[in-house]
């Protein structure tokens, strides 16, 4: 699982929604009303699908917050995050 697709979850001020987009194509994968809706309960994993990927999560102001890898077994380094 070397080359995982990359995604970014960021806030769209114009639409007042959180959007998950594929980095390479900027294609909208899923939108959420609240950041908590996107980051809880496996929503990101379900939106990405069975092939998994790496998701960069940004704060409301656009600053990087964290990165998550799905499935967790595909995380390239052994870390708790």
17-49 pLDDT, tens digit per residue, is 999 999 999 999 999 999 999 999 889 999 998
CA 65, chain centre distance (Å) = 11
**Residue corresponding to tokens 């967790």:** 72
Task: Give this prediction's pTM.
Answer: 0.84
pLDDT computed for residue 53 by the predictor: 94
Give me the residues paired with residue 24 across strands: none
Q: CA-to-CA distance for 60 and 71, rounded, in angstroms?
A: 25
Per-residue tokens: 53? 């990927």
């Amino acid at each position: 699982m070397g080359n995982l697709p990359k995604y970014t979850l960021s806030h769209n001020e114009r639409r007042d929604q959180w959007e998950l987009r594929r980095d390479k194509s900027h294609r909208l994968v899923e939108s959420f009303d609240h950041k908590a809706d996107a980051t809880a309960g496996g929503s990101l994993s379900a939106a990405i699908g069975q092939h998994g990927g790496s998701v960069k999560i940004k704060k409301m102001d656009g600053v990087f917050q964290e990165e998550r890898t799905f499935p967790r077994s595909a995380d390239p380094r052994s870390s708790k995050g």
